[in-house]
Structure 1
């Protein structure tokens, strides 16, 4: 599995392109905005996008989803259905944070713990990781030891839990009980900022270190 990270929107949210090198079949994870830039990056790499994957329902992660799905004629998968209230509130989120108007969104497929999603012939496992939002999910590609974790965990920090239905204790459980056991060598793509590994965060992250 290969990937590229595209920081989008004024929030510098890490939109990710994931693709199978041989077939160039791909997915876009969390297209928060700047749709033309995302389309240009797809074209530059010769990718054939098959779907859009969402980790959670905050505007900086989903703001460009409907427009991109229309342009590419692809389905949207994720997050877990407990984030439906965030997706229903996209018009209010747009007004609050100064994003272009976006209608409420319903994905083609809600995801649950233990589900899988495909990128070409590659398979990613779905973990339900509540805390930052109640329906947050992470995508795990075991063969390449890669995790896409949205706003659950960052290099040196963790996701905010002061938004509606945030839960600090649940977030810590998601990190320690679901992400860290995957292995110290896992590289993770966070929703913002640089990549890190679970081992580096387990050793040195002041919020969740051993």
Structure 2
């Protein structure tokens, strides 16, 4: 069975998700944006065996602890899509811009694209390409449990910003309306920041979508 725990990190309160299969206790970290010691303690308390680091996009507050944790657990970094390479190579500049501790630039061990699948123990996550907030943003979908990890594409009552470099509002709305909402009203999602919601709730109440 699929399990997850959300751990907000950094001053941006970015939702890092610890996900795992409770049959194998193999797991992954989605968007470890910072505070690696806090995340290590949470993982240890849960007894999860981290096998990979998964990234939805290349913004600093979602990737800041990725390399530290990948080295600590001796695992690979997977995602986002290659269109976000310019963000990952400019991490030192992002740190200066937002007042974060220095983070070296890096590239993942594997880029992701639409239709790819990630295996976490006995759980399968499908990858959707959802650009707009960033050009290489991807989303992780667990169809069996009707759960999505959407990064900064969609929030409860809001949508991702598109005023960052290479953001595109039209692409963002298209990603939400053509990729996410058709998954079904009963799908719940973990956003990159803030509380969880469902696609059905956002479809009828989100002021940016109605």
If the TM-score is normalised by the length of the shorter chain, which range does it land in? over 0.9
Partners of 1:118 and 1:22 lie apart in 2 by: 13
SS in 2 for 1:27: strand
- For 1:7, the equivalent position in structure 2 comes to 8
- For 2:208, the equivalent position in structure 1 comes to 207
- For 1:149, the equivalent position in structure 2 comes to 150
- For 1:126, the equivalent position in structure 2 comes to 127
Query: Unpaired runs of 5+ in structure 1?
Result: none
- For 1:36, the equivalent position in structure 2 comes to 37
- For 2:49, the equivalent position in structure 1 comes to 48
> Residue 85 in 1 paired to residue 115 in 2?
no
Deviations 1:154-208 (A, max 9, x none): 0000000000100000000000000000000001000000000000000100001
How many positions carry a matched residue from both structures?
A: 209
TM-score normalised over the length of structure 1: 0.99
Cα drift, residue 97 of structure 1: 1.1
Aligned 8 A contact 2:56 2:139 in 1: yes
1:99-178 pair list within 5 angstroms: 99-178=100-179
Partners of 1:68 and 1:94 lie apart in 2 by: 18
Q: CA RMSD in A?
A: 0.5
Query: Unpaired runs of 5+ in structure 2?
Result: none
SS in 2 for 1:179: helix
Partners of 1:70 and 1:101 lie apart in 2 by: 17
Cα drift, residue 99 of structure 1: 1.3
Partners of 2:18 and 2:188 lie apart in 1 by: 15
SS in 2 for 1:93: helix
Cα drift, residue 104 of structure 1: 0.7
SS in 1 for 2:32: coil
Cα drift, residue 95 of structure 1: 1.1
Structure 1 stretch displaced more, 194-203 or 118-127 = 118-127
Cα drift, residue 30 of structure 1: 0.2
User: Which consecutive aligned stretches of 4+ in structure 1 deviate over 4 angstroms post-superposition?
Assistant: none
Partners of 2:146 and 2:201 lie apart in 1 by: 14
Aligned 8 A contact 2:23 2:122 in 1: no
Structure 1 stretch displaced more, 113-122 or 4-13 = 113-122
Cα drift, residue 22 of structure 1: 1.6
